[in-house]
Structure 1
Amino acid sequence: MKQINSFSHKKILVLGLAKSGVTAAALLHKLGAFVTVNDKKPFSENPEAQGLLEQGIKVICGEHPIELLDEGFEIIVKNPGIPYNNPMIAGAIEKGIPVITEVELAYEISEAPFIGITGTNGKTTTTTLVYEMLKEGQKHPLIAGNIGTVASGVAEEATSENTIVIELSSFQLMGIVDFNPKIAILTNLYDAHLDYHGTKQEYIAAKANITKNQTELEYLIVNADQEETLAVARHSKAGIIPFSTKKELPEGAYISDGWLMFKREKVMEIENIALPGNHNLENILSAMAAAKLSGVENRAIQRVLETFTGVRHRLQYVTEVDGRKFYNDSKATNILATINALAAFEAPVILLAGGLDRGNEFDELLPYLKNVKAMITFGQTAPKMERIGKLAGIKTIVRVDNVDKAVPEAYRYSETGDVILLSPACASWDQYKTFEVRGDIFIEAVHKLK
């Protein structure tokens, strides 16, 4: 960790706890800041806040009192999930108080450079692939960010020998000032989180922050098959490395005659890749580009791609029961992710779908439901899912209370050779705290069948 004094003796408000807030508060306290933590959960039910109080950090719980903003805070470190129209955040911006997320704090203290990955879909798979490739190539990577490990905690332990591979959400990227990855990856851009950002333009602007501080000394790896991502690249000062599954790009990463290519060099034959799904070729190409730019040899990249079969909750193979294969794609929190999942299978599919209603319809799924023989719905969007299922001509559509009840119901309508797929096309927050919880419940229910 860099020994910095930019936070020393400054009054800093950490707004919202969870893992990132706890880590940021403790770190700022260590760096000599006068830290106040404000969390909505009551103190008596808040072990995180209780632990921070024991460290000597001021804690205010149970509400977000707007008068806190009159206490002269110089910086606010915001939990990424708190929207900018929150009265505390809106009030802070009106007063000219800088609002950052803990990713910015991580960058300030890190001795290690960053490889940052963002986009609508494929972030977790791409982040994991980059990490595994760098690890296989003896580059001493650390993994952090939206994938589950708090960035500032990782940065605190990192040295100049490491590289921090970090998955970044639009929420996190809205709160950066100087953050500048040596390599950035923009996987793709589709409608997402519009309930938070308001418009697609605002969402794209947040994602584009990943490259806003890059110079010609850094790289932006960008999807060349999408106009939205190319538009971001046109405004970047970084060296652009395009990737494509549709066209040959001698200056980037692409596919030619059954080979993964990087700048005209053959890296690996596609037939030897273990990870299923054509959509994953985009993730593989972008990860390969980052690994090659980091000096990883082809054989290390090959070893990873020959053995890597996916990440938990992202088209994760669970098990086979009586000839039925079960897949957990709980991380499919939007329509495109579910489209990609459905496209990965030729066998008949029983689809488990539904969740938080964000006001959208699911008509985009219609062309991809041809192979779905039954649909089990749950959550707020169950009626919308049923409507699109009927339009697709699916004869068996059953509504259940939750994922736990969906699994035995799916099994009841299945036959040997079928795929039973949890791919909700929706966020989990109507019934479950996270998509991970939803996926774990699915896995547990599948194993109960045995």
Structure 2
Amino acid sequence: MKSVLVIGSARSGTAVSKLLLKKGFEVYLTDSGIVSNKEELETLGVKVYDEGHPDTLKEINYEFVVKNPGIPYTVAFIDYFVKQGSKIYTEIEVASWYAKEFHYGAITGTNGKTTTVSILYALLKKHGTSYVAGNIGIPLSEVVLEHEKEDANIALELSNFQLLGMESFKPKVSVVTNLAPDHLDYMKDLDAYYESKMKIYRNTDQEDYFLRNIDDEEIMKYAKNIPCKIIDYSLEKKADLYLKDNLVYYKDTYLFDIKTLKLVGKHNISNSMVAACMAYLLGVSIEEIQIGLHEFTSVEHRLEYVGEKDRIRFFNDSKATNAEAVVPALESFDKNIILLAGGYDKKLSFDILKPYDNRVKCCFSFGETKKEFKNIFSHVEELDTMEEAFDKAVQLAKPGDVILLSPACASYDQFTSYEQRGKIFKEYVYSYLNGGR
């Protein structure tokens, strides 16, 4: 029996361990923390080592290693296998080996991934059997375990961490939505980060499609030697996929009218264009696309409308974990924005936000980066926590104002994830709307 090592449990580690067991491998799973479902996995036959990585695991000859994408290759235990020349894959790469009738619409990029993949999934569901997986929080291995034999379309969100561990993954349609500085605490440099995104089309051929955003200078610089069919798209220029008089066309085919969209912001027009074209190429009809786009409202934590009181509106944009992700939110409102920003310091610049100073009534900054916004906006008040920032924002707000959580930072200084941060923000809002604050 061939052995495999899974490093990092979480949801994806658990799922890929179960899948590999089913495929006849001897599975070793190790985690630096406590594996909460250890008893369940051991009952199934997984050999679990938690609260550290014992050296005895290095003595076993593995067919390959599956690494949680969030663990850097520079961690000592991982680095040992890198230096040994071991094959190191991600969970998605492994899962893709086994579902031969899955057709992937794969989406990566610095910003807009989750919204675009959520729209794509909504459109694919209108047509037939489809699933959503990947960086959005659902391991592909879970989908494969339950639906391996099905002929299905998959809306798949990919981080660059996941793409680093891809060897044979081949999407039918793929896109890099945009490129902006991020994850410099993980990647060697910005060039390495941008190059990692381009791995999404590495294994494609002339039966596949890559959507290229010609409005993004960095994509045009890095998207080279593309082996599949290229579909250029633009909000501003004539392209294969384009916007004209509020109507979106793919070549000569009319897809939809942007006036029917319920999403706000120019960036969401682009996200909808991409999702619609990808769905069309995966077999969804024009009518199904138009119905799906009209029905789609929002993605949780991504410029999500939370509520309104006394003509003060609240939006949760907790997924904006870098400055570039905040720009679309600021562009969605002309003025009177009360911005809540700050969090874990990824050593990124916020200068790109300076041109929006005239739209920001006040920025209440919090967390590790609270001092970093004083040179970005004219009106800034530094606070320790998001709760303090929220309370100050409510005190300042007048009818017509927008209170916007769009942190421009990761959450790890005070929260376990951007999801937790967003949910807590919404709890503050609901409490305020019900007279509790």
What TM-score do you get using the length of structure 1 for normalisation? 0.93
Q: Which amino acid aligns with 2:32?
A: K
- Mapped contact 2:182–2:348 kept (Cα < 8 A): no
Query: Which 5+ residue runs of structure 1 have no aligned equivalent?
Result: 1-8
Q: Which amino acid aligns with 2:12?
A: S
Identical aligned residues as a percent: 39
- Mapped contact 1:109–1:156 kept (Cα < 8 A): no
Q: Which amino acid aligns with 2:167?
A: V
- Mapped contact 1:220–1:233 kept (Cα < 8 A): no
* Residue of structure 2 in register with 1:313 after alignment: 301
In the TM superposition, residue 339 of structure 1 has moved relative to its aligned partner by 1.0
- Mapped contact 2:322–2:348 kept (Cα < 8 A): no
In the TM superposition, residue 231 of structure 1 has moved relative to its aligned partner by 3.9
Q: Distance in 2 between matches of 1:65 and 1:201?
A: 35
Deviant stretches of 4+, over 3 Å: none
Q: Which deviates more, 179-188 or 292-301?
A: 292-301
1:317-361 superposed Cα distances (whole Å, 9 cap, x missing partner): 000022210000000001111111000012411000001111223
Does the residue aligned with 2:376 lie in a helix, a strand or coil? helix
Aligned partner (choices 343, 348, 372) of residue 360 of structure 1: 348
* Residue of structure 1 in register with 2:132 after alignment: 143
Mapping for residues 420-431 of structure 1, pairs under 5 Å:
420-431=403-414
* Residue of structure 1 in register with 2:48 after alignment: 59
* Residue of structure 1 in register with 2:39 after alignment: 50
Does the residue aligned with 2:399 lie in a helix, a strand or coil? coil
* Residue of structure 2 in register with 1:416 after alignment: 399
Q: Which deviates more, 306-315 or 436-445?
A: 306-315
What TM-score do you get using the length of structure 2 for normalisation? 0.96
The reply on whether 1:254 has 2:233 as its aligned counterpart is: no
Q: Distance in 2 between matches of 1:36 and 1:268?
A: 49
- Mapped contact 1:66–1:87 kept (Cα < 8 A): no
- Mapped contact 2:4–2:28 kept (Cα < 8 A): yes
The reply on whether 1:348 has 2:348 as its aligned counterpart is: no
Q: Distance in 1 between matches of 2:338 and 2:221?
A: 38
* Residue of structure 1 in register with 2:390 after alignment: 407
Q: Distance in 2 between matches of 1:347 and 1:299?
A: 37
- Mapped contact 2:211–2:274 kept (Cα < 8 A): yes
Q: Distance in 2 between matches of 1:33 and 1:93?
A: 21
- Mapped contact 1:313–1:331 kept (Cα < 8 A): yes
Does the residue aligned with 1:387 lie in a helix, a strand or coil? coil
Aligned partner (choices 69, 85, 88) of residue 96 of structure 1: 85
Q: Distance in 2 between matches of 1:270 and 1:104?
A: 36
In the TM superposition, residue 191 of structure 1 has moved relative to its aligned partner by 0.9
* Residue of structure 2 in register with 1:35 after alignment: 27
Q: Which amino acid aligns with 2:390?
A: V
Q: Which amino acid aligns with 1:146?
A: N
1:345-379 superposed Cα distances (whole Å, 9 cap, x missing partner): 12411000001111223121110121111111111
In the TM superposition, residue 67 of structure 1 has moved relative to its aligned partner by 4.8
1:65-108 superposed Cα distances (whole Å, 9 cap, x missing partner): 34522221221100111001111222112111100000011101
In the TM superposition, residue 316 of structure 1 has moved relative to its aligned partner by 0.1
In the TM superposition, residue 306 of structure 1 has moved relative to its aligned partner by 1.8
Aligned partner (choices 169, 184, 198) of residue 188 of structure 2: 198
Aligned partner (choices 420, 433, 437) of residue 437 of structure 1: 420
Q: Distance in 1 between matches of 2:374 and 2:26?
A: 53
The reply on whether 1:82 has 2:65 as its aligned counterpart is: no
* Residue of structure 2 in register with 1:4 after alignment: none
Aligned partner (choices 18, 24, 27) of residue 26 of structure 1: 18
Equivalent pairs, count = 431
